[in-house]
Amino acid sequence: MPAVPPTSVPPRVPRPWPPPVAVSPRIEQLREAGPGAVADFWARIGRDGAPLVESDGDAILLTFLWRQRRPTRDVLVLVNKLADRHDLGASRMRRMPGTDLWHLTYRVRPDWQGSYQFAPDEDLAAPDSAGTAQDPAHWRRVAARVVADPLNPVTLPQERPPHKSVATAPAAAARPRWWLPDPAVPAGRVDVVEVPGAPAGGPRRVWRYRPPGDRRDAGRYPLLVLLDGDIWGTVTPVAPMLDNLIAAGRIPPVVALMPDSAGRTTRFTEYACHPGFAAFLRGDLIEHAAAGLRVTGDPARTVVAGQSLGGLAAAFAAFCAPERFGNVLSQSGAFWWPSNLPGDAERFTRTVSGAARRPVRWHLEAGLDEWVALDPNRRLRDALTGRGYDLTYAEFAGGHDRVCWRARFGDALAGLLTPVTAPG
């Protein structure tokens, strides 16, 4: 089996700034009140759910909670991009003496959101750990034992269990949740077809979304090509989001094609600025999967979108084929690529800087906790701005996280599918 290209693996660098660990006033009150008050506290958490949310000036304190009385080693809470495998000791929860309460508090922005899991039986004092998981085998052992939060019913589905739990600060919780199915909203149709021509060979599964109320006289539909169809077609379905956006008038009725990533090795190869994959998206994918669906041929009404390496692949596809892809939606794009090649990092940004401007609109965004991806996204933003591209750029409170991507995707897509009005 071919190996994953090492140049497509994110650089494994430690978190460059300390995690925002804080002290919860409510936990301190419990500590002073003594073990007898903990039962009432757990009763409240049973009603309200976890994590515990407290205000702290212009920020929010999120306290993650674990309940376990029996002797254990270390309990870790692994919050997306607040935890760092290079310093797992910083994710160690504190046990309130004489109780079954374990806790760890972070101070975050009011619009922060993220996914997390617990590792409830780790031994960071073991000779082979030293409070880190830089050894890939050690990290695999930690990852193999993680669990969701039993005190939090809100989860982010994964391809296979255990699922992840979701923490949301109040301002983020107030955003429209476009991804949630609404039985009152007309639903589009999703099916799966097989398409030839992908660089890895063999037929490639493609999830297709057709808007509700498909009318033969409706003209040609805008087209969305969304990478990682095995995620957006099934695990975190984008179809309810498109249904809701269409019903709310935020986007016009749209057709979406979502090709399968075909596994980690294929994904890490094809998404890394692969000319053959860009040609597949431009050619065979649309030719075969969109046959008979009356999609537009206008690049200004066509969006290619992706997350992480998918954001890089989407950007590269539009750069190679602006006559077909006139809009790029990149979330947490892997513009650090390639890694492990001294002097060759951020190749796509350097290519953009030295090339003629294409007729492409861009939406780029990255999380403030993404210490690997954030600065490369900023440098690509600057390069695109310097070349005169039409660009929207955003930084969100969160990490490299599907929780953030699904929450923000709908508004980003709506912005790109809004026609541009010429000045005057």
pLDDT in tens, 161-180: 999 999 999 999 999 999 99
Q: Domain range spanning residue 100?
A: 6-171
Q: Flag whether pLDDT at 421 surpasses 60.
A: no
**Predicted pLDDT at 132:** 52
Q: Which residue has the tokens 């398409």?
A: 195
Same domain, 406 and 276: yes
Same domain, 162 and 209: no
Residue 140, C-beta contacts closer than 8 angstroms, at least 6 positions apart: none
**Predicted pLDDT at 134:** 54
19-59 pLDDT, tens digit per residue, is: 999 999 999 999 999 778 999 999 999 999 999 999 999 99
Identify residue 337 by its one-letter amino acid code: W
Query: Which residue, of 171, 206, 228, is where some domain finishes?
Result: 171
Q: With cut-offs at 50, 70 and 90, classify the pLDDT of residue 214.
A: low
Nearest CA among 78, 77, 108, 245 for reference residue 173: 108
Tell me, yes or no, whether 178 lies in a domain: no
Same domain, 112 and 196: no
Same domain, 354 and 380: yes
Tell me, yes or no, whether 181 lies in a domain: no
Number of H helices, E strands in the chain: 13, 17
Same domain, 123 and 246: no
Same domain, 274 and 225: yes
Tell me, yes or no, whether 151 lies in a domain: yes
Q: With cut-offs at 50, 70 and 90, classify the pLDDT of residue 341.
A: confident
| Rounded CA separation 349/335 (Å) | 7
Q: With cut-offs at 50, 70 and 90, classify the pLDDT of residue 296.
A: very high
Q: What value does the mean pLDDT take over residues 378-384?
A: 98
**Predicted pLDDT at 1:** 54
Tell me, yes or no, whether 179 lies in a domain: no
Q: What is the widest separation between alpha-carbon atoms in the chain? A: 71
Q: With cut-offs at 50, 70 and 90, classify the pLDDT of residue 423.
A: very low
| Rounded CA separation 12/372 (Å) | 8
Tell me, yes or no, whether 201 lies in a domain: yes
Same domain, 167 and 221: no
**Predicted pLDDT at 420:** 53
Nearest CA among 81, 95, 109, 69 for reference residue 366: 81
Same domain, 247 and 155: no
Same domain, 223 and 355: yes
Q: What value does the mean pLDDT take over residues 392-414?
A: 98
**Predicted pLDDT at 362:** 98
Residue 393, C-beta contacts closer than 8 angstroms, at least 6 positions apart: 363, 364, 365, 377, 381
User: The CATH number of the domain where 123 resides is what?
Assistant: 2.60.40.10
Q: What value does the mean pLDDT take over residues 90-105?
A: 95
Q: Flag whether pLDDT at 61 surpasses 60.
A: yes
Residue 338, C-beta contacts closer than 8 angstroms, at least 6 positions apart: 7, 8, 272, 344, 345, 347
Tell me, yes or no, whether 78 lies in a domain: yes
- Indicate the DSSP class of residue 301: G
Same domain, 157 and 260: no
Query: Which residue, of 171, 197, 226, is where some domain finishes?
Result: 171
Tell me, yes or no, whether 140 lies in a domain: yes
Same domain, 355 and 397: yes
* HSE-CB for 53 with a 13 A CA cutoff: 17
Query: Which residue, of 138, 171, 204, is where some domain finishes?
Result: 171
Residues in the chain: 424
Tell me, yes or no, whether 184 lies in a domain: no
Helix, strand, coil share of the chain (percent; to 5): 30, 25, 45
Same domain, 278 and 397: yes
Domains: count for the chain = 2
Identify residue 217 by its one-letter amino acid code: D
